[in-house]
Amino acid sequence: MGRLFGTDGVRGVANADLTAEMALGLSVAAAHVLAAKGETSGRRPLAVVGRDPRASGEFLEAAVVAGLASAGVDVLRVGVLPTPAVAHLTGALDADFGVMLSASHNPMPDNGIKIFARGGHKLADGLEDRIEAAYLEHASGQPWDRPVGAGVGRVREYGEGFDRYVAHLVSALPNGLGGLKVVIDAAHGAASRVAPEAFARAGAEVVTIGAEPDGLNINDGYGSTHLDALRAAVPAHGAALGIAVDGDADRCLAADAAGAEVDGDQILAVLGLAMRDAGTLRRDTVVTTVMSNLGFTLAMEREGLRLRQTAVGDRYVLEEMRRGGYALGGEQSGHVIVLDHATTGDGTLTGLLLAARVAATGRPLADLAGVMERLPQVLINVRDVDKSRVTDSRELAEAIAEAERQLGDTGRVLLRPSGTEPLVRVMVEAADPAEARTVAAGLADVVKSALG
């Protein structure tokens, strides 16, 4: 059996890979590890539980809540809210941990369980390992120590979470948005109410698309992984910019007034310079991953900013930020972390800060994002291969070495197994788009033959 926890919690097809029984067992295991006796200051342990609007989230949430309460944990159910809202409320309410039911940008049949430690921080690998070990020990027949009578946990709805989180988002802006017209694409997901409300309270004129979740349409043609609707809507409505979040709203991409995409690297560049000018970019450093475009690196160096690079995954970005005391980090995919205001990536917050920079400078988003020039980058997802053998294949290693020799100093190659999906990602970056496509296609063929 492989490791249950991927780069962002436990994820799989709901009711097939991720069952109600697993959700219940994992929640009990999390309670035993994260709310152990003596770690809760003499009170009963407390957990915050939220979900995105997927239909499967209804029964998975019920299983998680049942497991936590059966383990003696009090539960605050915050309902459908973004992942960063659950992280924020976990810290703000001094809960022992938080649980979010979501598969983020994945298609509707998938779902996942994300667990936040005290303070709203993502779990360290060691804690995930302890929770997984406790879960597997119970699955093999070891009974849980279960409270009875008044010892069982109590469950309460916490509807105040919506307003408390929106107020937190708006408080991050030193000034309002001054009537700036913004299109918001909520991916029919967890931010369908939050994002429009936050932008409106911040003073924007809001146009909303992709904000009618029915449990089945999350990420379907809308959101940060499907930008066509946003790119068409922004110029059609004469908006200054558009913001697209994903299903659980922990990431954000944008579109400028002409409908051109503004990716996570460009957003980081805009916010990095804004924070430098405001004196809040600690050590004048931005933390990124190895997937960041070379054009971003060159632009930040030209502006006098320093970069720290990590492995792919916002958890690794966050670990480096906390280790080095940095204020800003993120990924090209739109996970942007602003540690002064959030403990994890927050798409709505990112969008608000981006819009605030446009409003404060009076400059179009295209002009601001133009600080960097994206070098052509080709990404191919190779499915139906054994992603665990990426580092073991000699044939693949030789193909990568040949590709790097061919590109020389004008480009780079990155191959990595996805942490959340059953596939291998092939990324090639080069000054010549045709060369990038050719090299990427050749490497993808080798991945299929070597790992298929």
Residue 1: pLDDT over 50: no
Binding residues for Mg(2+): 104, 246, 248, 250
- More reliable by pLDDT, 122 or 161: 161
CATH architecture label of 10-159: 3-Layer(aba) Sandwich (3.40)
State the alpha helices, DSSP H only, in 282-362.
294-302, 314-324, 347-361
Distance CA 356, CA 237 (A): 19
Distance CA 351, CA 243 (A): 6
Distance CA 43, CA 33 (A): 16
Binding residues: 104, 246, 248, 250
Q: Are 272 and 286 in contact (CB under 8 A)?
A: yes
Nearest to 51 by CA among 61, 64, 66: 61
Q: Where are the domains of the chain?
A: 10-159, 164-369, 377-451
Residue 2: pLDDT over 60: no
Report, as an integer, the average pLDDT of 398-413. 87
Q: What percentage of the chain reaches a pLDDT higher than 90?
A: 81
Report, as an integer, the average pLDDT of 147-171. 97
- More reliable by pLDDT, 248 or 142: 248
- More reliable by pLDDT, 293 or 77: 77
**For residue 38, what pLDDT band results from cuts at 50, 70 and 90?**
very low
The model carries a pTM of: 0.89
CATH architecture label of 164-369: 3-Layer(aba) Sandwich (3.40)
Report, as an integer, the average pLDDT of 171-188. 96
Q: What is the mean pLDDT of the chain?
A: 94
- More reliable by pLDDT, 291 or 323: 323
pLDDT at 42: 67
* Alpha-carbon distances of 314 from 51, 89, 166, 356, rounded to whole Å: 20, 20, 23, 24
- More reliable by pLDDT, 228 or 385: 228
Distance CA 80, CA 190 (A): 6
Residue 136: pLDDT over 70: yes
Distance CA 350, CA 204 (A): 15
**For residue 22, what pLDDT band results from cuts at 50, 70 and 90?**
very high
pLDDT in tens, 80-130: 999 999 999 999 999 999 999 999 999 999 999 999 999 999 998 899 999
**Which uninterrupted H or E stretch holds 201?**
helix 194-201
Can you tell me whether residue 346 is helix, strand or coil?
Answer: coil
pLDDT at 419: 72
Any idea which residues carry the catalytic annotation? Answer: 104
Residue 140: pLDDT over 90: no
Q: Are 198 and 352 in contact (CB under 8 A)?
A: yes
pLDDT in tens, 143-153: 888 999 999 99
pLDDT at 418: 82
pLDDT at 452: 82
Q: What is the DSSP letter of 293?
A: -
Report, as an integer, the average pLDDT of 155-181. 97
Radius of gyration of the chain (CA): 22
Q: Are 234 and 183 in contact (CB under 8 A)?
A: yes
Q: Do domains 10-159 and 164-369 have the same CATH topology?
A: yes
- Give the E-state strand segments of 186-262 in sequence order: 205-209, 241-245, 252-256, 261-262
Q: Give the pair of three-digit tokens for residue 169.
A: 């988002």
pLDDT in tens, 298-315: 899 999 999 999 988 888
- More reliable by pLDDT, 225 or 294: 225
Annotation: CATH topology of 377-451: TATA-Binding Protein (3.30.310)
Can you tell me whether residue 307 is helix, strand or coil?
Answer: strand
Q: What b/e string do you get for 246-282 counting C-beta neighbours within 10 Å, with b at 16 or more?
A: bbbbbbbbbbbbebebbbbbbbbbbbbbbbbeeeebe
Residue 326: pLDDT over 70: yes
pLDDT at 287: 98
Report, as an integer, the average pLDDT of 186-214. 98
- The region of weakest confidence among 233-242, 288-297, 344-353 is 288-297
